[in-house]
Amino acid sequence: QVQLVESGGGLVQPGESLRLSCAASGFSYDYSAIGWFRQAPGKEREGVSCISRSDGHTYYAASVKGRFTIARDNVKNLVYLQMNSLKPEDTAVYYCAADSDYYCSDDGLWETDFTSWGQGTQVTVSS
CA of residue 84 relative to chain centroid, distance: 14
Q: Give the chain's mean pLDDT.
A: 93
Residue 73 CA to residue 15 CA, distance in Å, equals 27
Work out the average pLDDT over 100-104. 89
Which neighbouring-strand residues pair with 37?
47, 95
**Pick from 41, 43, 97: which is nearest to 70 by CA?**
97
Contacts of 69 (CB under 8 A, 6+ apart): 81, 82, 84
Do 16 and 87 form a contact (C-beta atoms < 8 A)? no
The mean pLDDT value for 61-81 works out to 93
Torsion sign (Cα): 17, 11, 61, 56? positive
The reported pLDDT for the residue numbered 24 is 87
Residue 27's pLDDT is what?
58
Least confident of 4-8, 33-37, 89-93, 97-101: 97-101
Question: Which residue did the predictor score with more confidence, 103 or 15?
Answer: 15
Closest by alpha carbon to 99, among 44, 54, 46?
54
What is the band of 54 on the pLDDT scale with cuts at 50, 70, 90? confident
pLDDT category of residue 93 using cuts at 50, 70 and 90: very high
Q: Is the pLDDT of residue 1 over 80?
A: no
